Structure 1
Amino acid sequence: MIGKLKGTVDEIGEDHCVIDVHGVGYVAFCPARTLAGLSGPGEAAVLFIETYVREDMIRLYGFGTALEREWFRLLQSVQGVGAKVALAVLSTLAPSDLANAIALRDIAMVARAPGVGKKVAERIVTELKTKAPAFAGEATGTIGLKQELGEGVAPAPVADAVSALTNLGYSRDIAANAVAAALKAAGSEADSSQLIRLGLKELAR
């Protein structure tokens, strides 16, 4: 099985690219974000590959990072989500955005992906809620914040904001994700009331 390709870009298509590895051209179907990250024909490229082997074909799916490839696999564990839908989601959302959307149950954000209706988006955020806790840490700032909270060294405004959201009935993980997003928007000097307000705004999206 092919797990990684390292070579030069031979061609970039609408939904795929061709990577030349020592004279052999490999066609890899990729999310739009991955294709946009390629420099252009003749330039060096590295793709993390998911190989599908069937009776009538062998198909390669390529990703810019191993994390994207893991999300591709994880998305397809959801009922009704195949490779095409998983690629559409990863074309629209970066892994950190997808992790946040699932943590905050932001169905509308997932439904932005072409071909992903509200029902499929709802299944994604519902079914992956418990399957993807390890990936949620990729949400910008969240993993560090959760570590600080666990060690009791988080800044007082942050700890107070997470506590306030938890008291409102949100889980600690969801509250931490919301406050991390609020902290990113407001900056490190924000007070607890500002973080709570912005956190609630995140949760209401």
Structure 2
Amino acid sequence: MIGKLTGKVDSSGDDWVMLDVGGVGYIAFCSSRTLSALPPAGEIASLLIETHVREDHFHLFGFSSQAEKDWYRTLSTVQGVGAKMALSLLSAISPQELSLAIAAQDKTTLTRANGVGPKLAVRIITELKDKIGNLSLGATVSADEISGEGKAGMPLSGQSNLTVSEDAVSALVNLGYRRSEAYSAVAKVASDKGVDADLEVLIKGGLAELMK
């Protein structure tokens, strides 16, 4: 099973990229977020890989960060969300936004993805609301950073905001609240106030939510 590929960017399309690894071209299907972060053709890139092997195909799915890969796996567990739909969601919504949207039961954000209607958005929220506590709100880790190769394949946009949200959740947990409760409360405040809300706002707002 292939877990990671590092090679020269050969060519790409709307939802795929070909990496030349030692003279062998590997085609990986990717979200538009990952594709937009790749370097120009001829330069080196690294992708974390999810391998799908079935009787009728052998497909590779590529991700620029562990967070995106984890979310792909999680989304794929939802009934009605296949590989292409999971990539569509990750193209339209960042891992951070997905965490907050599901915790805050914000179906409008989920419907930004092509092919996701209100009914499917509700199903995603219903099936994943108890699972997102296992997915960190912290900064994403790129494929290059995992191997210690230096420059990330994708900018860690929103890293500080993600860390603040995680700190707010930890603070509420330290006050005796369950992580799932704290997570949902912080997500609700972040949704109302914006992801740029500072730590004090998230903690106070989270406490207010938990005391309702």
Q: Which range, TM-score by smaller chain?
A: 0.7 to 0.9
1:7, 1:44 within 8 Å by CA — same for their partners in 2? yes
Q: Which residue number in structure 1 is paired with residue 93 of structure 2?
A: 93
Q: 2:171 aligns with which of 148, 151, 160?
A: 148
Letter in 1 for 2:28: A
What corresponds to 2:57 in structure 1? 57
Question: How far is the alpha carbon of 1:56 from its aligned partner?
Answer: 1.9
**Residue aligning to 1:159:** none
1:54 to 1:190, Cα distance in 2 relative to 1, 3 A: closer
Q: Which has the larger radius of gyration?
A: 1
Contact kept, 8 Å, 1:183 with 1:190, in 2: the verdict is no
Q: Is residue 35 of structure 1 aligned with residue 58 of structure 2?
A: no
TM superposition shift of 1:186: 4.7
TM-score, normalised with respect to structure 1: 0.79
Give me the whole-angstrom Cα distance separating, in 1, the residues matched to 2:198 and 2:66.
30
Consecutive unaligned residues in structure 2, runs of 5 or more? 139-160
Confirm whether residue 102 of structure 1 aligns to residue 134 of structure 2: no
| CA–CA separation in structure 2 for the residues paired with 1:104 and 1:49 | 30
Q: Look up the match of 1:176.
A: 186
SS at match of 1:2: coil
For 2:158, the equivalent position in structure 1 comes to none
Structure 1 residues 184 and 95: alpha-carbon distance in aligned structure 2, compared to 1, 3 A threshold: closer
Does structure 2 retain, via aligned residues, the 8 Å contact 1:145–1:180? no
Corresponding residue pairs, total:
181
How far the C-alpha of 1:131 sits from its partner, in A, is: 1.7
Equivalent position of 2:16 in the other structure: 16
8 A contact 2:165–2:199 mirrored in 1: no
Checking the alignment, whether the CA contact within 8 Å between 1:12 and 1:40 is kept in structure 2 is no
The residue type equivalent to 2:166 in the other structure is I
Report the TM-score, using the length of structure 2 for normalisation: 0.76
Cα distance in 1 for residues equivalent to 2:107 and 2:129: 12
Quote the Cα distance in structure 1 between the aligned partners of 2:171 and 2:80.
38
CA distance in 2, matches of 1:150, 1:57: 45
2:148 counterpart residue number: none
Q: 1:132: Cα distance to partner?
A: 1.9
Taking the aligned partners of 1:192 and 1:30, their CA distance within structure 2 comes to: 36
Q: Greater shift after overlay, 130-139 or 118-127?
A: 130-139
Letter matched to residue 176 of structure 1: V
Q: Which has the higher contact order (CA 8 A, sep 6+)?
A: 2
Q: Counterpart of 1:145 in structure 2: which amino acid?
A: A
Aligned partners of 1:183 and 1:89: how far apart in 2?
20
How far did residue 183 of structure 1 move?
7.3
Alpha-carbon distance in structure 1 between the residues aligned to 2:65 and 2:201? 33
1:75-86 alignment, distance < 5 Å: 75-86=75-86
In structure 2, do the counterparts of structure 1 residues 73 and 129 end up closer, same or farther at CA, with 3 Å as the change threshold?
Answer: same
How far did residue 145 of structure 1 move? 1.0
